[in-house]
Chain A
Amino acid sequence: MGDSFFGFNTGLPSMTDDELRMAQKERAAREDADVYDFASLRHELGDDDFDDGLGDQLEEAGDDLNDETFGDDTIGKDFDFAATTAQFTSKLPDDERMRHHKPNEIAQAHSPAQQHPQGSWQNEDLDRQHREANAIWSDFAQSQHQQHRQQPGYFQGTPPSSSMMQPPRGAMSLDEMEAELHRQRQQPAFSADQGLPGKKMMSLAEVEAAMLQRNHDLHHQQQLHFQQQQQSSAMPPMPMSPFGGFANVPPNNAMQQEQLRMAALQRQHQEFMEQMNKEREMRRIDDVRKSRYDNLMTQYDKDLVQRIQLHQLASGDPYADDFYYQVYSSLRMRASGTKPAEGGRGRDSRRDNSMMARMNQQVQRIVNDAKRRPKQTQVTLEGALGKITTLSTRNPRQVLQVSDKKPHDGSPTHIHASESTSTITPKVKSLGSMNDRRRLLNTVESLYSKILELEQMRRQGPARSRRDDDEEQERKLEEWNEQYSVKVQQLWDSLHIMEDNKEQTPLLVAVLTVNKGKKLIPRIIRPLTHDQNLSILSVILAHFSQLQVCRPVIYPGTQVASTEDAQRFVSYEDMDLFMNATAPALLSFITEAPMKVVIALTRLLMEKNDIRYVAQTKPGLAFLTMLLSRAEILKQGGGALHGYAPPSVEELSLWQDVYTALFQALQGRFASIFPAVYYLVPSNPSMDMNQLLLNIDDMYIWQFLAAIAVGASMEQQHVLVTEVRDRVMENIILAKSNRLPLDRATHRIDNTNLFLHSLGLDASQVSAPL
């Protein structure tokens, strides 16, 4: 044969010495290299058997002192690199061991296989070197299992058929350990391969060794598996392409094509599966690796760390520090009510519950400890002057400390602080009113604190403990009730409703000037009794015209035309807040009132106030509407819902009188109840006043008109219609003229219909000129 690819002589028969020499010389001649080879040289010189005696002339003496020079000791193993490596690699986890030793395994597996088929002299040479290297290294090798780690990187590895090597290697190291242990303890040999932790005869070390081996085996198998998959996945891509190429060649053979396609699909599927398996294997390997260090901390340790962290946050009364969160979550729980996530998700919820329970235990522990040893906020060190405040998150160092001394009343500094912050209605306050406002705000705040206390009492309920028997519990409940009613009484007293201040505006009216007062009133109503609430309502109605919200409204986007005293107006937002926050609570009171009460309230409203002025405001109309409609309902027998008897004849006649008085007072002025804007100009000069007018929702007016029309006699109805006719027409025409978006137009029509239906008419009956 000619030269093989690499220029090796691939011929089989090996050469004799002579032939070898010839070949060498030829090679040398070709390469122009000087080859000095003693054997060939001697042969050339014809000197093979001649002993030239030169060897005898060597000085072989003077070796006596060698031992002294070089010492008797054995050659140290300090530079025994292979052995040291072997030592610590045996302790490495397995995959890294793989990395270190794979080339060696491969080399090792490869070399025995290679030695025989390729018997050329070059390989023999290499073999010789091989064996020499063997010899060199084996001098340093300490034990038998180190033979496997020779020839670092000597050969480049290829097919990974070496995986076979690993189990024996692993087993050998463990077997070794076993052997040692057996030798040490001289016990009958229990094979380490049996299943292990259960058998008490084995020592702990053996158990651990066995477990380690199990892990290794697992590793080996996984890696075996892994590599096999690598192999097989490497294989499929190859056959794919030639087949793909060939598919075009026999186009006639459809069957063959089909089969090929099937095969290709199958291979794809296989590939995919193998990919999945690969990933799964990797994940498992990672899991096992990561969980090697599990359970380093005991549950006690974990609890300790948690306690340290919770120590800062824990407190005895969660409501004191964590108020917002506690109340918010309880409100949400109540709101979501029927669908909590508690029992639903089995496993997760149980785990969460146990966590929560454990945390609560921790907190309890901490709190109890804290109670036993109260922590001082201020600490004095011995030998140092002064005290040190211990700072915590609850008690942080404040950057500024504002002194608590109250300024003198009426001091000149207050004049500078007289400009109010309201941008819509600039109010210039005088000295006295500044103080009044302050005092008012303080009063409102004190009312708030009382309300908060009451609500907190309600939330917590009477103090209960499991050790009490029924009597004890009852007693505590009574105590709680007492405390509660005392607080309610204090609240009531602070409102000063029963006191008789003829001249001054009542506190309630002032409170309703402030926005937070408007929000406060509905909260006050809840704990108070029915009668107390009735008094509140009466006071409000009696002084209705003095209310802040009973003033001409400044609609959004507008401002007051002239620079009049802005106290005469109210902003739309404030009025809206009243309607949304305060009015509903009061109005619901009227909805449940009997006839007597309705009559009394209406009379009060009329007598104490200028009803025409009141009727020009939205709150005024709202209250009037409610009173009128309630009266009508009662007349028609609606009082039975609350257990009231139908109104008696006197009541009915009384009511009629009141109604007539009301109607007469408003007669001729019905048109004026519609929003007037003569005093306003647009804030933005480019906006049209009419446009802004159109934005005002006048539903409440139509509701009032409907309410009053229901109880009206024929002439009264006639009067009503005459007076508001213009407005009605205006609305209908506007709605039909397509100047408004559709929903707004229908809204307008509906509003008007409220009134018209009460008269027995309808908007469609009106013929509108286009």
Chain B
Amino acid sequence: MLFYSFFKTLVDQRVTVELKNDLAVTGVLKSVDQYLNIKLDDITVIDQDRYPHMIAVKNCFIRGSVVRYVQLPSQAVDTALLQDAARREAQTPNPQQANVRVK
């Protein structure tokens, strides 16, 4: 739940989401959920000419699994705290089944 927690602190910041289909959208992050689905308000598409069908779109909901990158303002991130949070996540053991075993 680290990334969920992280994105919760970024609500109301302007971010740029780049999707796996190369669409890049800038908007104000309105909400995020446990699957990292993202809701953006007041969006503008980065390459307007390539995506004319997005001209009239003001808000959008992006499924988490199609996101490639999220670009965020660096001053909104507390890197030391993020490192600590990552350390805590790494410490909890996860009893899981996996598809592939790597030795």
Q: Contact: B5 with A321, CB < 8 Å?
A: yes
A-B contact pairs, 16 of them (CB 8 A): A320-B88, A321-B5, A322-B1, A322-B8, A324-B9, A324-B82, A329-B9, A389-B96, A393-B34, A395-B94, A400-B99, A400-B100, A403-B103, A448-B87, A449-B87, A452-B84
Cβ of A172 under 8 Å from chain B: no
Q: Are B100 and A401 in contact (CB under 8 A)?
A: yes
Chain B, 81-103, contact with A by CB distance < 8 Å: what is the 0/1 string?
Answer: 11111011101101111111111
Which single residue of chain B is at the shortest CB-CB distance from A581?
A: B80
Q: Which residues of A contact B34 (CB under 8 A)?
A: 312-313, 393
* B residues near A399, Cβ cutoff 8 Å: 98-100
* Residues on B facing A (Cβ under 8 Å): 1-2, 4-6, 8-9, 34-35, 78, 80-85, 87-89, 91-92, 94-103
Nearest CB in chain B: distance from A443 CB, A: 14
Check if B95 sits within 8 Å of A377, measured CB to CB.
Answer: yes
- Please tell me if the beta carbons of A401 and B80 are within 8 angstroms of each other in the complex: no
Q: Give Cα distance in the complex from A327 to B94, angstroms.
A: 23
**Residues of chain A lying within 8 A (CB to CB) of residue B88:** 320, 323, 452
B35 nearest in chain A by CB position: A393
A687 shortest CB reach to chain B, Å: 27
CB distance from A670 to the nearest CB of B (A): 39
Q: Which residues of A contact B97 (CB under 8 A)?
A: 389, 397
State whether B87 touches A398 (Cβ < 8 A): no
B87 touches A328 (CB 8 A): no
- The reply on A378 being an interface residue by CB < 8 A is yes
Residues of A within 8 A of B (CB): 312-313, 320-329, 331, 377-378, 389, 393-403, 405, 445, 448-449, 452, 516, 519
Which chain B residues lie closer than 8 Å to A395 at the CB level? Answer: 94-96
A400 touches B98 (CB 8 A): yes
Bound together, the chains give a CA A554 to CA B2 distance in angstroms of 37
CA distance A565 to B103 in the complex (A): 36
Judge whether B81 and A328 touch: CB under 8 Å. yes
- Beyond the given pairs A396-B96, A452-B88, 8 more chain A to chain B contacts, judged by CB atoms under 8 angstroms and listed by A's residue number, are A312-B34, A321-B1, A324-B82, A327-B84, A393-B4, A398-B96, A400-B98, A519-B80
Is B8 in contact with A325, judged by CB distance below 8 angstroms? yes
- Kindly state the separation between the CA atoms of A320 and B96 in the bound complex, as whole angstroms: 18
Give Cα distance in the complex from A327 to B6, angstroms. 11
Known: A313-B34, A323-B5, A452-B84. A328 touches B78 (CB 8 A): yes
Identity of the chain B residue whose Cβ is nearest the Cβ of A392 in the assembled complex: B34
Residues of B within 8 A of A394 (CB): 1
Q: Which residues of A contact B84 (CB under 8 A)?
A: 323, 327, 448, 452
Cβ–Cβ contact A401 & B9, under 8 A: no
Contact in complex: B96, A397 (CB < 8 Å): yes
Q: Which A residue's beta carbon lies closest to that of B99?
A: A399
